[in-house]
A = this chain, B = another copy of it.
């Protein structure tokens, strides 16, 4: 196989307490490639000075973005669905299995992260009354009901939807909430994070950012 996949991430992100290292969203793409055995390289764009070339590939100045031959695309969710078309390991090929993988990938992005990410962001201020608290807990509660009876979220097997969902749920504050109230949800995250492909993807990301400290 010709190696044409390049994952772009920052050259560096801050280390220390509360560091995003291990959580930066390029880990989702690394994880998918590791699961599927897709060859890939990782390249960097500056974290501190984000130039026009970066914004041309990612209009919000974020990462990751993916280069696949002539095609460049951004949004980790879009990159995962793009990669899923390259390997049945990431998404089944029957129409029902494909539909389930698609709906749960989008659900992680728009039913979970749409609440959990701003909930987390507002929580950074240390407020005692997060206006998204009730909404957040009701979403996790509903998801918990689903995960009580499933090993993986879609199509009866591991798919890119699990990469998206588990990565959304493993954010420390979210995982704390899950651990306290939603045991099946916590067990699901633990199952996903025990996969060798995730462990390698996370370690590689941490090493990538640590190298830039020198």
Please determine whether B143 and A75 come into contact, CB atoms closer than 8 angstroms: no
Residues on the B chain within 8 Å of A62, using CB = 111
Residues on the B chain within 8 Å of A125, using CB = 131
Copies of this chain present in the complex amount to 2
What 0/1 readout, one digit per residue, does chain A (91-131) give for beta carbons within 8 Å of chain B? 00001100110110111011101110111011001000001
List 5 tightest A-B contacts by C-beta distance, closest first.
A118-B118, A78-B103, A75-B106, A78-B106, A77-B106
**Beyond A59-B143, A114-B114, 5 additional pairs, beta carbon < 8 A:** A60-B107, A71-B99, A75-B106, A81-B81, A118-B118
Residue contacts A-B, CB under 8 angstroms, 16 given: A59-B142, A59-B145, A60-B107, A60-B111, A71-B99, A73-B99, A78-B106, A82-B99, A82-B102, A109-B110, A110-B113, A110-B114, A113-B114, A114-B118, A118-B119, A121-B135
